[in-house]
A and B are shown apart, each in its own frame.
Chain A
Amino acid sequence: MLEIRNLHARIADEDAEILKGLSLSVKAGEVHAIMGPNGSGKSTLARVIAGDEAYEVTDGSIEFGGNDLLEKEADERAQDGVFLAFQYPVEIPGVSNTYFLKEALNSIRRARGEEELSASDFLKLAREKAKLVELDEALMKRSVNVGFSGGEKKRNEIFQMAVLDPKLAVLDETDSGLDIDALRIVANGVNKLRDQNRAIIVVTHYQRLLNYIVPDQVHVLVDGRIVKSGDKSLAEHLEEVGYAWVDGELKSAQTAGV
């Protein structure tokens, strides 16, 4: 479903590369975890997949469902089924959560040539999906993310994902700032959204989220490249020995290469 080849990217108008030749292949139905230390490029990867213009791709390619993803604007990618759960969800004062999501869903449906949902059909759908993440209905009426707690914002992201029903979901540090109960609720929500037609990429710093969302594959991202891939045991090992271990392995590999 998703094929990333030799991806190089940087912040627009800055020289330093953040992604330095990253390759990754994710099939429908799979859950991949991307782990890595701070500054390794995890969030950059998430943003580049979603089409944030603050980042510039300098080399490499991303294919999504057989099409060139990099050709498309962020809204077109969303319409094609790419979803990003933001690390820091954005506030939109004065726009109710429900209205926002209805507009988003109908915009996606229009782009796909599907009929728009009526207000009542949408509400029915939203109520049903809100249960997945135990989202309080009062939050649906409030302005998008305004005055939400950290946990509520993250739940709201997964709620939006449930309603928009994407083919590829990238969860950017969805576990950050969550206490253990909120983490469990969010993870349960994500697990219910696992589907053989959907690919999910979980970007995280810590292994603990992966106790709840068990990945098919784990990739370790260091300095803009994936340096190690494996199954979930890799994440557990990493938790024990820390990122210093990968750093060490990387350095010895580089030294050996010289």
Chain B
Amino acid sequence: MPTTAETIEQLSTGRDYKYGWSTDIEAETAPPGLDEGIVRFISGKKNEPEWMTEWRLKAYRHWLTMQEPVWPKVDYPPIDYQKVSYYSAPKKAGEGPRSLDEVDPKLLETYEKLGIPLSEQKILAGVVAVDAVFDSVSVATTFKGKLNELGIIFCSISEAIREHPELVKKYLGSVVPYTDNYFATLNSAVFSDGSFVYVPKGVRCPMELSTYFRINAENTGQFERTLIVADEGSYVSYLEGCTAPMRDENQLHAAVVELVALKGAEIKYSTVQNWYPGDENGKGGIYNFVTKRGICEEDAKISWTQVETGSAITWKYPSCILKGDNSIGEFYSVAVTNGAQQADTGTKMVHIGKNTTSTIISKGISAGRGQNSYRGLVQVNKRAKNSRNYTQCDSMLIGNKCGAHTFPYIDVRNNSAQVEHEATTTKIGEDQIFYCNQRGLSEEDAVSLIVNGFCKEVLAELPMEFAVEAQKLLGISLEGSVG
């Protein structure tokens, strides 16, 4: 494989998490705990207008009335929300750097280690614009100039709140209201940063927009908020990648992503998630409780693609509300659980408009003692004539201590709808591995090859350069899972 040499290099140090280093930079961190004062502190740090502070406070007060959900098929000790710090920023933040020259060189080094092509030159050679979020603060957004010419706004959400309040006011919380669910509500109160994208009418964004999230500081929660608005007839492809250092204690990540695809617009949202999964005994690792949802107006399309290899616990259901007639929702997912990882992930496709179509392709891979659940809802409302859904849900088991579970919910209230569900479970075969071995491939390469074949339909949906990264990740995260 083109990547084998690299893979082996990573493997030679054991089943190590490649991104497990932390960066020693001065950070300004809020004391642990959560109350109205902290909410105001965060809002104040960001020089937010009063309406934003009020919105956060409403969310916080609502959160106090809510219970943490217990229905997911994941198991973790209770989280003490008063022990988490809700804000951490590299010092010198506040204003935010105007150009890369102003960014702390140590931070840039960090991003280089992450393999993000952050320096302008590299990016000019590529096709990616990056907004990098380090702990809570958006560090640098590259390629702004070129995007500006097209009227595309790509900036941190904090900047958007200050510079484009009319857009943020109109759309923030329009897809995921602050009352939505326990984690989304918490996020609404304390979100610290994230990305904002606006693509004007009829504009096709010429490059992939990308955000890299990294949790660095100890005992810090990361609560990003991403809002993408694609105006009528526009197109944008967006990718987020995530890593975190190795820490013995669990770190909380509760993000919210809202997508708005107006009439005839298309949003493609891809995630390669590689948060630290914890060690083999389940110590440490990220709790990834994420709410992602998009709304499609008439003739619009939203496509979610996710490759989830990290996190101790993943709780995540990127969803599409197919409100407009003829709108399309897609969900392509690969979720890997190895060691003691647990994932409860899937999607919701809510058909409201006529002739709406949704496709769900989910590939769950369980190894070690990993527990992998697909949970999906396909809902066809009364008015949604001639709606169609196709769901394919495949599970692969490696070894005999892991588990795969499928919870498909189908709720159809219009008899012209057509809903298909297919599910398979396979075990990676010793005969398959022996066949590959006999042709000269090592066991790691064999597993990687077979798994990548299993996930092919999903990987094919990722932008090319990220597909390669995802393939590598799959190989690395399953290292040592056979034999």
Residues of chain A touching chain B, judged by Cβ–Cβ distance below 8 Å, are 50-54, 73-75, 77-79, 83-84, 86, 89-95, 100-101, 103-105, 107-108, 110-111, 143, 160, 164
Contact = CB atoms under 8 A, between A and B. Distances in A.
Given A90-B434, A92-B449, A94-B456, 13 more contacts: A51-B437, A74-B437, A75-B437, A93-B453, A95-B452, A100-B439, A103-B445, A104-B436, A104-B439, A107-B4, A107-B441, A160-B439, A164-B440
19 contacts: A75-B440, A77-B438, A86-B435, A90-B434, A90-B435, A92-B435, A92-B436, A94-B452, A94-B453, A94-B456, A95-B449, A100-B439, A100-B449, A103-B449, A107-B440, A107-B442, A108-B440, A110-B4, A111-B440
Contacts of A104: 436, 439-441
A68 B169 CA distance: 74
A51 to B, nearest CB: 7
B455 interface: yes
Interface in B257-316: none
A217 to B, nearest CB: 24
B445 to A, nearest CB: 6
Given A54-B430, A75-B443, A92 B450 contact: yes
Nearest to B431: A90
B443 A93 contact: no
Contact of A89 (B435, B445, B454, B457): B435
With most chain A CB atoms within 10 A of its CB, the pick from B437, B449, B452 is B437
A77 B434 CA distance: 12
B82 interface: no
B23 interface: no
Contacts of B431: 90
B437 A78 contact: yes
Contacts of A73: 437
Give the 6 A-B CB pairs with smallest separation, nearest first: A94-B453, A95-B453, A104-B439, A74-B437, A94-B456, A78-B440
B304 to A, nearest CB: 21
Interface in B415-465: 429-432, 434-443, 445, 449-450, 452-457
Interface of B: 1, 4, 429-432, 434-443, 445, 449-450, 452-457
A174 to B, nearest CB: 15
- The secondary structure that dominates the B interface is helix
Given A51-B437, A103-B1, A93 B442 contact: no
B371 to A, nearest CB: 24
B435 to A, nearest CB: 4
Nearest to A112: B440
B480 to A, nearest CB: 16
Given A94-B453, A94-B454, A103-B1, A164 B439 contact: yes
B439 A90 contact: no
A117 to B, nearest CB: 12
Contacts of B455: 94
Contacts of B430: 53-54
A175 to B, nearest CB: 20
B438 A93 contact: no
Nearest to B483: A53
Contacts, number: 82
B437 A90 contact: no
Contacts of A100: 436, 439, 449
A89 B432 CA distance: 9
A36 B395 CA distance: 41
Contacts of B436: 75, 92, 100, 104
A92 B450 CA distance: 7
A141 B405 CA distance: 33
A74 B434 contact: yes
B192 to A, nearest CB: 40
B441 A95 contact: no
Contacts of B452: 94-95
Nearest to A102: B1
A95 B457 CA distance: 11
Contacts of B443: 75
Given A103-B445, A103-B449, A50 B454 contact: no
With most chain A CB atoms within 10 A of its CB, the pick from B434, B436, B439 is B439
A103 B213 CA distance: 33
A52 B434 CA distance: 7
A105 B455 CA distance: 23
A219 B434 CA distance: 27
A86 B438 CA distance: 10
Contacts of B1: 103
Given A92-B432, A93-B454, A94-B455, A84 B438 contact: yes
A160 B431 CA distance: 17
A84 B429 CA distance: 18
A20 to B, nearest CB: 24
A244 B319 CA distance: 68
B243 to A, nearest CB: 27
Given A74-B437, A78-B437, A90 B432 contact: yes
Nearest to B449: A95
Contacts of B439: 78, 100-101, 104, 107, 160, 164
A75 B436 CA distance: 8
A90 B454 contact: no
B449 A107 contact: no
B453 A75 contact: no
B445 A107 contact: yes
B30 to A, nearest CB: 47
A73 B434 CA distance: 10
A83 B439 CA distance: 7
A104 B4 CA distance: 12
Nearest to A94: B453
Contacts of A84: 438
Contacts of B432: 90-92
With most chain A CB atoms within 10 A of its CB, the pick from B432, B453, B455 is B453
A57 B414 CA distance: 64
B318 to A, nearest CB: 23
With most chain A CB atoms within 10 A of its CB, the pick from B434, B442, B449 is B434
B438 A74 contact: yes
B6 to A, nearest CB: 13
A93 B449 CA distance: 10
A53 B437 CA distance: 11
